[in-house]
Amino acid sequence: MSSVVRTRYAPSPTGYIHIGNLRSALYEYLIARVNGGKFILRIEDTDQERLVEGAVDVIYRTLKICGLKHDEGPDIGGPYGPYIQSERKNMYLPFAEELVRKGHAYYCFCSKERLESLQKQYKEKGEVFRYDRHCLGLSEEEARSRIEAGESYVIRQKMPTEGTTTFHDVVYGEITVENSELEDQILIKSDGYPTYNFANVIDDHLMNITHVVRGSEYLSSTPKYNLLYEAFGWEIPTYVHLPLIVKPDGSKISKRKGDATFEDLLEEGYLVEAIINYLALLGWSPDSNQEIFNLKELEKIFSVERISKSPSVFDMAKLRWFNGEYIRAMSLEDFHEIALPWIKKGLEKDLPTLPIARMIQPRTEVLSEIPEKLGFFNQLDEYNLEIYTHKKMKTNLEVSLKSLKAAVPALENLSDWNEKSIYDALTALIEELQIKSGQMFWPVRIAVSGQLVTPGGAAEIAAVLGKEETIRRINTGIERLSAAV
């Protein structure tokens, strides 16, 4: 085996990237980088019935935006190509035939109907279906002549019926299974394509993969892969199986049940960096309390020894928290740029977007929540006058009415309409009237927004709304308060 660490990301092109799958890609990438090794992309498309148009592009795009740059792959080539299994189709059969010759595999001609009725029988008995080795006894000549006669066939792995198979996994330790429990799995299908179970072993060997990193759902098949490596006399790679990802209720994540894929998360306004950071910690932990990591840092400190084997809980609330942290760490300009489509979505009028971005940046966790926060910029909704009363601000309806009445002429007089001029004018009024600042800023903010909680203060909101609209809203407040006191 080569001494250079080589890992591979081997997705099946299904059209979307499942969160667990992206975590595998990330860990595979990090294990390669941290060891100064190579990260390979291999497309596993041997299941021709499940092919989805454009799905390979989704994989390229995802790796690219995540910054998981591969060193070899279908799009960039490399010394072990082709990197798409369908383009390697003819490479697998000779290996399966070699196994037949060595007595580790056999041809099987069982029809679909026979297998279905067998399956039914097992089901009725309440047993797990296992192929009954009906074709195991066929002689090689007989098998040959049936193949030559054009009969459809598969090649199955011949499992030992006695003894045990033991393998070592970096995360799960030593695992031993009874060979009698292993099914004679199909290696080559009737359409001539290899199964995943066969192709992954052949390709991992031919591509010199040193570390096989994948989800723990493959743990139970690993003894079968090991028997293949042994039958060929090949060196067994280092196995790193990753813990299951579950939801807080313990159930599995699934797109069919509506759980978010990577693309969904992006569409909802999660940032790539936050997702990557969150996924890095979904099954791995650093040896410090640090939680915020960028990819470059992870490339230095990631270690397989700190991957956990207990299921990792995918907690949206925690991901939101990470996202909020990343949003707050951005410069206003960068935030404005990524938030702009969402701000525009929330605004029905042409208002200045930079000050809005500044107001919402500290309070935004996910970009998709932006539009709903901006509704009050479009129109002033009916609001309950009680929100003018605030104990700490020392306001009530009378105080508010007085302040608003004083604010109108002061604001009308302003020739320059900006946050500072508005703020200064209101501050001057506060001094003139000898009142507390909250007694002015609170009612003005309520009058211009109609909301108890707003992003930004009175002067910020008024600056964005413009003079005319601000005065109109304050006058509405005055009218309503006058009728109430």
Residues found near ligand GLU in the complex (CB under 6 A)? 10-12, 44, 196, 200, 214, 218
Could you tell me which residues come within 8 angstroms of residue 173 by beta carbon, excluding any fewer than 6 positions away?
none
Helix, strand, or coil (residue 402): helix
344-355 burial code (b ≥16 CB/10 A, e <16): eebbeeebebeb
CA distance to 51, 70, 92, 385, per residue, from 86 (Å)? 11, 20, 10, 69
Residue closer to ligand GLU (CB basis): 200 or 210 = 200
Residue closer to ligand GLU (CB basis): 1 or 136 = 1
| The one catalytic residue among 255, 344, 405, 467 | 255
Q: How far apart are CB 43 and ligand GLU at their closest, in Å?
A: 9
Q: How far apart are CB 176 and ligand GLU at their closest, in Å?
A: 21
Residue closer to ligand GLU (CB basis): 216 or 439 = 216
* Contact present, 187 and 42 (Cβ < 8 Å): no
Residue closer to ligand GLU (CB basis): 236 or 399 = 236
CA atoms 400, 403, 409, 415: torsion sign: negative
**C-alpha span between 341 and 344 (Å, rounded):** 5
Q: How far apart are CB 202 and ligand GLU at their closest, in Å?
A: 12
Q: CB atoms < 10 A from the CB of 129, how many?
A: 14
**C-alpha span between 452 and 447 (Å, rounded):** 10
φ/ψ of residue 476, rounded to 5: -60, -45
Q: Is 436 a catalytic residue?
A: no
Q: Which residue is nearest to ligand GLU (CB)?
A: 214
Say whether the peptide bond before residue 82 is cis (omega within 30 degrees of 0).
yes
Hey, which bits of 54-195 come out as E strands?
105-108, 154-157, 164-169, 173-178, 186-188
Residue closer to ligand GLU (CB basis): 42 or 445 = 42
Residue closer to ligand GLU (CB basis): 10 or 471 = 10
Residue closer to ligand GLU (CB basis): 44 or 268 = 44
Q: How far apart are CB 93 and ligand GLU at their closest, in Å?
A: 20
Q: What is the DSSP string of 289-346?
A: S-----HHHHHHH--GGGB--SPEE--HHHHHHHHHHHHHTS-HHHHHHHHHHHHHHH
**C-alpha span between 25 and 238 (Å, rounded):** 16
Residue closer to ligand GLU (CB basis): 19 or 440 = 19
Amino acid at 138: L
**C-alpha span between 215 and 311 (Å, rounded):** 11
Q: How far apart are CB 207 and ligand GLU at their closest, in Å?
A: 12
Q: What does DSSP assign to residue 240?
A: E
Ramachandran bin of 52, using left for φ above 0, alpha for ψ from -120 to 50, beta for the remaining angles:
beta
**C-alpha span between 475 and 472 (Å, rounded):** 5
φ/ψ of residue 288, rounded to 5: -140, 180
**C-alpha span between 300 and 293 (Å, rounded):** 11
**C-alpha span between 224 and 187 (Å, rounded):** 11
Q: How far apart are CB 196 and ligand GLU at their closest, in Å?
A: 6
Active site residues: 255
